[in-house]
């Protein structure tokens, strides 16, 4: 690739204001934190609030006994394939409302099938179920789900102004049934997806009908993931009693509750083991393939599967690295600095498109070649060498990804995505990732940190293993898979390796068609079709989230 065509050069020039190829520079001249507008803002607020609260607060003089941050360039970051530049601080989820909303939109979602309930209504209770009764039930539930009473008297309820993001919609693979559902309640597969993807999805769903329930963001913020299916099941059961005029408490109602709480429920994340003690719908339990399906890039730009994978990767970085590893598992704030490497400055984009071009030229397109040792070795080695060589040719690139784990993640992601694109097989893709890690370690004589490298040095052996506790189809892995439980900095790219295999061969979904459809919803607050752009809006403070409490707190 000609030097000037490197996708990351523009960002590097903007970050350092020097030639990206220059090996020497000046340090210690940048006036520390004062070079950063965001840090200046932090100091201003920290000083003001320290006075107000009477307890010492944010004070950069505490750093290194008086040596402030910023002895080198505190570089800005470009959200890849957008025009947005921001400071690193703006990408910490505490400072970024869009990142918070992405997670809240995932956590507050539960999918519940309606067919079991309809069967009980028809066969056991002798009730008629028609599109009209379904529409009526959905109207009742849209009243009840945010936190309103439907059959009780003298009940407390939630303020609609606090919970307006809560609602229920349905989808089905049956076009005739879909036609009869009130459009306000319908996720219309035909409308939301390209025709070939819609056909695949409808065939997978068939005549079944599913509810997609969004609990209020404020509930997602204040309760745990396990709350969601309980909240939805209670409101579903109450709404059934109301809509179909049922006796509250007869044995059949227990079956509604069982269906709504267990039998027909699809959680977004599985339970965690006791040593990490989390309920369902927590980030650690979201399988890679589920997260890839939540990302909706594949339906808006199916002709560019590399871009689709990169968008999915950015969601993985925020969910797994920033939320799960960075906070649930580790605490502190350091993981953001690290996780941004996969979605900023067009660096991973450059490596992935290099791999995609290589695959197109050598293997005739995406998903055209069967997985083989020759292919995995060829593609993974070529993309790895290309990536490492870029770091060595452009010292500013090396300085941007100043941690070895960042470089290891980005180079191996490029290799894994390329193998996935070539073969349409993400297990081959993850095997390419592990080859990349081993090559990287020997080339540079360094890789990540202790906890980073460990999984990569034994990963070759588990990539094709299907033995329990050691192997699992790659789509279903995630941080809940034993060997990835502490696998920081990997899961973002792993999400993309899953996505690339499927988008490369034109699949409408990677793992679960129901999840893919559930997030094809324009009423979600977070834009799952363009996650990187949305994170950028959050960084620029242009993103309006749900869950605001201004109605119930004093005005400033």
Partner 1 sequence: MVEYKPQYYPGSSKVAKNRKKYMDPSYKLRKLRTISDDDLVKLMGHRVPGEAYKSVHPPLEEMGEPACPIRELVEPTPGAKAGDRIRYIQFTDSVYFTPLTPYMRAWMGHTRYRGVDIGVLSGRVPLEARERDLEKVAKDLVETEIFDPARCGIRGATVHGHSLRLDENGMMFDALRRFVFDKKTGEVVYVKDQIGVPLDKPISVGKPIKEEELREMTSEYRVDGVPFREDKEMIGFVQRLHMLRTEAGFDPNKVKGI
8 Å CB contact between 447 and 456 = yes
Neighbours of 26 (CB within 10 A): 9
Q: How far is the CB of 442 from partner 1 (least distance, A)?
A: 5
93's tokens: 């989820």
Which helix H or strand E contains 439, and what residues bound it? helix 426-444
What is the rounded CA–CA span in Å between residue 497 and residue 493? 6
**Residue 401 in the binding site for partner 1 (CB under 8 A):** yes
Angle among Cα 524, 528, 534 to the nearest 5 degrees reads 95
Q: Is residue 199 a contact residue for partner 1 (CB under 8 A)?
A: no
SS3 331: coil
Under the binding rule (CB under 8 A), the answer on residue 154 touching partner 1 is no
344 is an interface residue for partner 1 by CB under 8 A? no
Q: Is 3 in the site for partner 1 (CB under 8 A)?
A: no
Size of the site for partner 1 (CB under 8 A): 56
Alpha-carbon distance values, 23 to 27, 250, 392, 446 (Å): 13, 77, 10, 20
Q: Mapping DSSP to helix (H, G, I), strand (E, B) and coil, where does residue 316 land?
A: helix
Write the CA distances from 249 to 117, 152, 156, 252, 262, integer angstroms: 15, 13, 21, 8, 18
**Interface with partner 1 (CB under 8 A), residue from 149, 204, 385, 476:** 385
Question: Do the beta carbons of residue 500 and residue 305 sit within 8 Å?
Answer: yes
Kindly state whether residue 368 participates in binding partner 1, applying the rule CB under 8 A: no
Counting other chains too, the contacts that 88-93 makes at CB distance below 8 Å and 24 or more residues apart are 88/336, 88/337, 88/340, 89/36, 89/38, 89/39, 89/42, 90/38, 90/538, 90/539, 90/540, 91/336, 91/340, 91/344, 91/535, 91/539, 92/322, 92/333, 92/336, 93/318, 93/322, 93/323, 93/327, 93/336
Binding of residue 10 to partner 1 (CB under 8 A):
no
Residue 494 as a binder of partner 1 (CB under 8 A): the answer is: no
Q: For residues 50 and 388, which CB has a smaller minimum distance to partner 1 in the complex?
A: 388
Nearest approach in angstroms of CB 465 to partner 1 is 4
Report 441-470 residues binding partner 1 (CB under 8 A): 441-450, 453, 458, 460-465, 470
197 is catalytic: no
Q: Which of 290, 338, 343, 484 is catalytic?
A: 338
Name the one range near partner 1 by CB under 8 A: 122-130, 176-184, 224-232, 427-435: 427-435
| 274 binds partner 1, rule: CB under 8 A | no
Are 50 and 57 within 8 A, CB to CB? yes
Q: Residues 38, 301, 377, 505: which binds partner 1 (CB under 8 A)? A: 377
Sole binder of partner 1 in the list 434, 474, 481, 509 (CB under 8 A): 434
Nearest to 440 by CA among 462, 421, 459: 459
Q: Which of 116/388 has CB closer to partner 1?
A: 388
The 25-64 contact track toward partner 1, x by CB under 8 A, reads xxxx-----------------------------------x
How far apart CA 194 and CA 537 sit, in angstroms, is 27
Please indicate whether residue 152 is annotated as part of the active site: yes
**DSSP bridge pairs for 109:** 214
Q: For residue 254, give every residue at least 6 positions away whose Cβ sits within 8 Å of its Cβ, in sequence order, or none.
A: none
Looking at 18-26, 34-42, 116-124, 359-367, which segment touches partner 1 (CB under 8 A)? Answer: 18-26
Measured from the CB atom, is 186 or 408 closer to partner 1? 408
**Nearest distance from C-beta of residue 361 to partner 1, angstroms:** 18
Query: Would you count residue 22 as binding partner 1 (CB under 8 A)?
Result: yes
Restricting to residues 70-109, name those near partner 1 by CB under 8 A.
71-72
Using CA atoms, how far apart are residues 399 and 21, in angstroms rounded to an integer? Answer: 11
Task: Indicate whether 381 belongs to the interface with partner 1 (CB under 8 A).
Answer: yes
**471 in contact with partner 1 (CB under 8 A):** yes
Is residue 549 part of the contact set for partner 1 (CB under 8 A)? no
Q: Which of 223, 329, 398, 476 binds partner 1 (CB under 8 A)?
A: 398
Residues designated catalytic: 152, 338, 451, 487
Positions in the binding site for partner 1 (CB under 8 A): 22-28, 64-65, 67, 71-72, 373, 377, 381, 385, 388-389, 392-393, 395-396, 398-399, 401-405, 407-408, 431, 434-435, 438-439, 441-450, 453, 458, 460-465, 470-471
């Amino acid at each position: 690739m000609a030097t000037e065509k490197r996708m990351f050069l523009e960002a590097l020039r903007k970050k350092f204001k020097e030639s990206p190829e220059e090996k020497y520079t000046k340090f210690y001249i940048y006036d520390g934190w004062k070079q950063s507008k965001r840090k200046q803002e932090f100091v201003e607020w920290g000083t003001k609030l320290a006075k107000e609260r009477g307890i010492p607060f944010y004070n950069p003089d505490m750093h290194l006994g008086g040596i402030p941050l910023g002895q080198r360039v505190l570089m800005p970051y470009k959200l890849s394939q957008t025009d947005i530049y921001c400071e690193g601080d703006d990408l910490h989820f505490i400072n970024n409302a869009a990142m918070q909303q992405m997670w809240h939109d995932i956590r507050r979602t539960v999918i519940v099938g309606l067919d079991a309930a309809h069967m009980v209504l028809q066969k056991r209770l002798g009730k008629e179920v028609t599109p009209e009764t379904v529409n009526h039930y959905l109207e009742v539930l849209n009243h009840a789900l945010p936190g309103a009473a439907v059959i009780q008297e003298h009940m407390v309820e939630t303020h609609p102004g606090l919970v307006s993001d809560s609602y229920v919609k349905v989808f089905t693979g049956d076009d005739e049934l879909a036609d009869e559902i009130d459009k306000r309640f319908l996720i219309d597969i035909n409308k939301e997806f390209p025709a070939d993807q819609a056909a695949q999805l409808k065939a997978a769903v068939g005549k079944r009908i599913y509810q997609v329930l969004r609990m209020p963001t404020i509930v997602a913020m204040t309760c745990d993931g396990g709350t969601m299916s309980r909240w939805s099941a209670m409101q579903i059961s109450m709404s059934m009693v109301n809509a179909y005029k049922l006796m509250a408490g007869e044995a059949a109602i227990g079956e509604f509750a069982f269906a709504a709480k267990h039998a027909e429920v699809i959680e977004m994340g599985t339970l965690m083991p006791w040593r990490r003690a989390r309920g369902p719908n927590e980030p650690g339990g979201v399988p890679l393939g589920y997260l890839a399906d939540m990302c909706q890039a594949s339906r808006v730009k199916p002709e560019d599967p590399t871009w689709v994978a990169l968008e999915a990767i950015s969601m993985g970085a925020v969910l797994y690295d920033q939320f799960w590893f960075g906070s649930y598992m580790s605490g502190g704030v350091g993981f953001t600095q690290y996780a941004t490497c996969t979605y900023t400055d067009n660096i991973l984009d450059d490596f992935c498109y290099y791999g995609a071009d290589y695959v197109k030229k050598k293997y005739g397109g995406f998903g055209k070649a069967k997985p083989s040792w020759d292919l995995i070795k060829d593609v993974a080695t070529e993309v790895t060498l290309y990536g490492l060589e870029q770091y060595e040719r452009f010292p500013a690139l090396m300085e941007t990804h100043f941690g070895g784990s960042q470089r290891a993640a980005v180079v191996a992601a490029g290799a894994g995505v390329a193998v996935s694109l070539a073969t349409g097989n993400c297990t081959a893709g993850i095997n390419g990732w592990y080859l990349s890690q081993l090559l990287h370690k020997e080339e540079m004589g360094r890789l990540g940190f202790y906890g980073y490298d460990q999984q990569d040095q034994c990963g070759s052996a588990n990539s094709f293993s299907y033995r329990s506790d050691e192997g699992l189809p790659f789509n279903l892995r995630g941080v809940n898979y034993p060997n990835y439980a502490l696998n920081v900095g990997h899961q973002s790219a792993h999400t993309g390796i899953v996505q690339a295999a499927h988008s490369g061969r034109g699949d409408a979904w990677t793992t679960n068609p129901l999840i893919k459809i559930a997030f094809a919803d324009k009423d979600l607050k977070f834009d799952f079709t363009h996650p990187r752009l949305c994170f950028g809006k959050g960084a620029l403070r242009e993103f309006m989230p749900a869950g605001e409490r201004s109605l119930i707190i004093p005005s400033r």
